[in-house]
Structure 1
Amino acid sequence: MSTESGRETGPGTAARPTGTVQEVLAKFRSWRTVDIVVAAVIGVAVGVVFWLWNIVWSVTTPLFVAFPPGQAVVYGMWLISGVLGGLIIRKPGAALLTSIAAASVSAVLGTQWGIMVVLDGALQGLLPELVFLAFAYRRWNMGVAVLAAAVAGLSPAIRDNIAYNVTWPIEYQLTYGVIVVLSAAAIAGVGARLLTTALARAGALAPFPSARG
């Protein structure tokens, strides 16, 4: 038996969620139609960018023949959807939803990685979601955006080395992983935060708390 806020609780007494948990749950239940529509719009727009970035990746591959891990400098663009969706909509699930939507659009348009991009999109949306959750969906500054993007970068940093770079020397794999995370922080983190600020200043985010920047 324990005492919480002056009340005794025992086996027959259900513990109430803390204020932070209640706040997160309230935000999760506060999804509006406009939130869903904007998440879909972000997903479609970024999905087209992803599709174009697939071409950029293929075209630039020969430039890194001497040092293949170096190509990871451009990887961060593929991680921007979840961070951007989270920063704009600022509700639980926004990062995951926009990331899956963007990956799905990229897959439909055509990609050399097939349906796996949708699975990657889910994981790359879940990881920044966990960062936003850690801050109880209250903080949306540059530091949080960069951290969310860097954590999202851990997914390809690990999976790509297992799936595609397994024949590389270990130092190449480690270098690739580090560059992917740094690229994610710079492009998906800083980029998404600056884009959110620009959209807010342009008045495009009026229905959202992110309209304040």
Structure 2
Amino acid sequence: MHSTVNTSTTSAAATSGRRRPNLRWRVVDIVVASVVGVAAGLIFWAWGIGYTPIATPLEALLPGAQSLTGGVWLFAGVLGGLIIRKPGAAIYTELVAAAVSALVGTQWGPLTLVSGLVQGLGAEIVFAAFLYANYRVYVAVLAGAGAGLALGINDSILWYPGLGSTFYAVYITCAVIGGAIVAGLLSWVIARALARTGALNRFAAGREVTARA
């Protein structure tokens, strides 16, 4: 009997450990994702004003390499996905950020919303591929790279038509690299830092870090 109880208990624990995450949005998820999106949108707006001194030398050095700076415009979706861990979080957060920056005023106008939607989708696809159950650093990097790929393709179509395959190859590759490092790796570091402060205790992202501390 003692052995049977232990086996049953172990089996139940294993089943619990494999339980799928709750993917339904809560009010707190919407609120926090919105706050992240608004804060990121203000950063997007500021970066839209100040990125030129960095992008221009990169472009002069290697046409297309200016997309390395695009990673800053991608972090909202990845960070939102890492914190909320629900379907649609990356798209929602990136789109809110794009909307805020467009409302404040950017040189790209309403097309900023198109970029936000496409870039959020690039990160979202990666989180979905891991069934919204894996948020390790390499997944964050892949999500950033996915957002960067989306940025590179979208920008090539909207803003750089007819510039040739070499330019597009450089632009898209650099966008992927910038997305992976800035939007992916940096967002993962930020999410972990927020979790350590206790700010994310109502989220799996916060409880996970606290449990390992």
| Range into which the TM-score falls when normalised by the shorter chain | 0.7 to 0.9
Pick aligned residue for 1:87 from 69, 82, 86: 82
SS of 1:106's partner is: helix
The one-character-per-residue Cα deviations of 1:86-131 (angstroms, maximum 9, x if unpaired) are 1001111111111110000010011111111111111211222121
Gaps of 5+ in 1: 1-21
Query: What is the alpha-carbon distance in structure 1 between the residues aligned to residue 31 and residue 137 of structure 2?
Result: 25
Query: What is the alpha-carbon distance in structure 1 between the residues aligned to residue 114 and residue 160 of structure 2?
Result: 19
Pick aligned residue for 2:185 from 175, 184, 190: 190
- 1:41 matched to 2:35: yes
What TM-score results when the alignment is normalised by the length of structure 2? 0.83
Paired residues in the alignment total: 189
User: In the alignment, what sits opposite 1:123?
Assistant: 118
Larger proportion of helix: 2
Between 1:103-112 and 1:59-68, the stretch displaced more is 59-68
Give the partner amino acid of 2:103. V
User: In the alignment, what sits opposite 1:71?
Assistant: 66
Gaps of 5+ in 2: 1-18
Query: What is the alpha-carbon distance in structure 2 between the residues aligned to residue 171 and residue 194 of structure 1?
Result: 33
- 1:32 matched to 2:14: no
- 1:54 matched to 2:43: no
Give the partner amino acid of 1:47. G
SS of 1:48's partner is: helix
1:23 to 1:149, Cα distance in 2 relative to 1, 3 A: same
Pick aligned residue for 1:148 from 120, 140, 143: 143
User: In the alignment, what sits opposite 1:9?
Assistant: none
Give the partner amino acid of 2:28. V
Give the partner amino acid of 2:50. V
1:86 to 1:169, Cα distance in 2 relative to 1, 3 A: same
Query: What is the alpha-carbon distance in structure 2 between the residues aligned to residue 125 and residue 159 of structure 1?
Result: 12
Pick aligned residue for 2:91 from 82, 92, 96: 96
SS of 1:137's partner is: coil
What TM-score results when the alignment is normalised by the length of structure 1? 0.83
Percent identity of paired positions between Structure 1 and Structure 2: 43
